Amino acid sequence: MSKIILEDARKYLVNSLRGKRNGFETKHPWRKDWEFAVLHSLRVESYVLEILARENHFLSEDEITLLRLAAILHDIARLDRRENHAESGAEIAETWLRNHFEYSLESGDPARVREMIADHSNKAVPEQDFSKAVLKDADTLDEIGAMSIFMTGNWLERESPFFFFDLRQRLIDFELPFCDKKLALLNTDGAREILREKKGFVESFIAHITDELKADGDMEQILGMLRENDG
């Protein structure tokens, strides 16, 4: 199967999403424009390859290409409708693939891509299909780690003199448990390994900011007095 199809799929994704807006995002401003959806999809494709590099798998090159196609196109309908975007995107992807006869696709290949995309949001149940499992895990891994530290800051009052203390505490109270929650949903050893590394990065960040803030017992006592006066 020609790898040209992957580049054409990326171009199709860009042209399909160009100019659209995310109407349901309220917390993270960079998620509102169509470019973010494109970049997310391309990162998911990269995570697919990273997971596969850590797995002992038996996928053929053609099967990997189909999996990468599903990753590139998995959110092509998300900006049109948040609910049921997986099924809508699956139909769009299958139609596009079937209309491009210049590609050396087997008759069942477009249906296989559709199957993977249609099911990618169903992450609550353990996935037995390896390709589907990799796609779901790759989608889960995005925006966890360094990105999630920035995203955590959007839930806080940026003008507050306690911003960095609040950031540290929210990472402890919410982000580390979130990592554990997502870890429990993953299907592949490769993805679990990547997520543990991401969690380790967040833990390291917390340790560094704790040191920089001098957030020991005495500082906590002083913070309590300051917050009381501030209130």
Per the CB < 8 A criterion, the answer to whether 73 and 9 are in contact is: yes
Computed on alpha carbons and rounded to an integer, the radius of gyration of the chain in Å comes to: 21
**For the residues of 54-68, what is the DSSP string, one character each?**
TS-----HHHHHHHH
Which residue(s) pair with 33 in the sheet? 21
Q: Identify the residue whose tokens are 């800051």.
A: 153
Residue 82 tokens read as 């948040």
- Residue in 143, 123, 140, 138 with CA at minimum distance from that of residue 202: 143
Write the Ramachandran bin of 197: left for phi over 0, alpha for psi from -120 to 50, otherwise beta.
Answer: alpha
At residue 144, φ and ψ (nearest 5 deg) are -110, 135
- Residue in 88, 64, 66, 69 with CA at minimum distance from that of residue 77: 88
DSSP 20: -
∠ Cα 128 46 90 (to 5°): 55
Residue 208 tokens read as 């560094």
Residue 178 tokens read as 């979130």
Q: Which pLDDT score is estimated for 219? A: 75
Q: What pTM, to 2 d.p., does this model score?
A: 0.91
Measured CA to CA, the distance from residue 62 to residue 2 in angstroms comes to 9
**pLDDT string in tens for the chain (231-residue length):** 677 899 999 999 999 999 998 877 777 888 889 999 999 999 999 999 999 999 999 999 999 999 999 999 999 998 886 667 899 999 999 999 988 756 668 889 999 999 999 999 999 999 999 999 999 999 999 999 999 999 999 999 999 999 999 999 999 999 999 999 999 999 999 999 999 999 999 999 999 999 999 877 777 777 777 777 665
Ordered by start, the domain boundaries in the chain are 4-123, 146-230
CATH topology of domain 4-123: Hypothetical protein af1432 (1.10.3210)
